[in-house]
Amino acid sequence: MSPAAAHPTDAAPARVPARRWLAAAAALALLPGCFTFHREPPRPGRTTLAAPAVTLTALTVSNYLVIESKWDRYGPYHFLIDTGASVTLVSPQLAARYGRKNPFTPDTPLVRVKSAEGDTALLTATLLDRLQLDGARFEDVQALVYDLGPLSAHLGVKIDGILGFPLFRETLLTLDYPRSRVVLQRHEGAPPVPGATIAFNNDRKTPIIPVRLGAQTFAALIDSGSDAFLSLNPVGLQPVFAVPPRTGALVGTLANDREQHTGRLAATLMVGPHALLRPVVDLTDELSSLGGGLLKNFTVTFDQERSRVTLQRDSLAPIPPEPRRSAGLSFTKTPAYWRVASVVPGSPAAAAGLQPGDLVTRLNGEPVARWDIRRYELLVATATAIEFTLLNGQQETPQRVAVFDLVP
């Protein structure tokens, strides 16, 4: 969970964000970690802002803020900011266009990375000459090359990069969820940030803060690369559940898949002065984290220079609980069809006979190509049932499936 190390070693795999996606629950988490190079990489180049404050318009996709930027004839480019990651990932296309040839040494090895389940994979390190976000320019950006195609297919937006937290070390980074924007400011002369300020619990510039669940205090990572509400490691906490955890859909990571376990806590979660009543929680064996499902209620400003974060919300009224709705299915997606990745045990979808591997070509009679994640999430949130058209050979068969509360 630590930032990128300055002195690399080949003794242990590095940790990088690993993709997780669920169509039914609309969850994507990018697991935090660090990466290392064979030798100490060049010092990061300059961060240049065209104005004291640069405002970037963001597209709200699920519980993520996706920045769009166009600085050459190949754009626009789309980037997701992941405050839970200490690395930046870029697509092979962007790396080929702006990555330096042989940026380190001829014998620089591929970077070994570890998924949430402990499996390893190999990624190539690169050094981008520049990365431009409208009026913000970043030079000599260290990154790993990663296939972002599955993530792009899931979100319905071509993602060119996932920007790790250290990229913004020289700026005040504000994720303004209510206004769908990102603001970058110079430290010098920046006006005071309104809201509740919480210090990081470490000196490594990692946004881990203390939060309270009932009478218990624990550390949680602020993770904009996850759209979950709260991912909780229960070890040492003995949490009490209003709704016991149940098996959800399958979660995909960098190297493999694992089941999701979701429930509702009985206690109130306190983040600074802000109360979140009986939150829905996804159990994890990683560090506990606060994802976009929670952060969407706030304007969040990160000050890496002072190792602190400020949460601002127009009201101090408690944030009420919401149900977790589901169609009982998760998918891997292509423009032509969605393949069922998993079926929630005991769900209406399971009772209807749907199975992993089934191919879905239409939703409510419309081709799946017309359904991006935002439209599908709205359907799951509001519909009582969804008609999935299944493809068997050349024959299409409609199957009506009830939507239910996975966690009431």
> pLDDT of 339-348, one tens digit each?
999 999 999 9
Q: Is the pLDDT of residue 22 over 50?
A: no
pLDDT in tens, 291-307: 999 999 999 999 999 99
pLDDT at residue 15 in the model: 37
Instruction: Give the pLDDT band of residue 118 (cuts 50, 70, 90).
Output: low
Report pLDDT for 34: 36
State residue 39's pLDDT score: 37
pLDDT in tens, 278-288: 999 999 999 99
For the chain, list the domains and their CATH numbers: 14-185 (2.40.70.10), 199-312 (2.40.70.10), 324-407 (2.30.42.10)
Q: Average of pLDDT values for 216-224?
A: 97
Q: CA-CA distance, 390 to 397, in Å (whole number)? A: 5
Does residue 259 contact residue 250 with C-beta atoms inside 8 Å?
Answer: yes
Give the integer Cα–Cα distance in Å for 259 and 208: 26
**pLDDT on residue 123:** 86
Q: What is the pTM for the complete model shown?
A: 0.87
The CA angle 267-63-44, to the nearest 5 degrees, is 110
The strand pair at 47-49 and 136-145 is best described as antiparallel
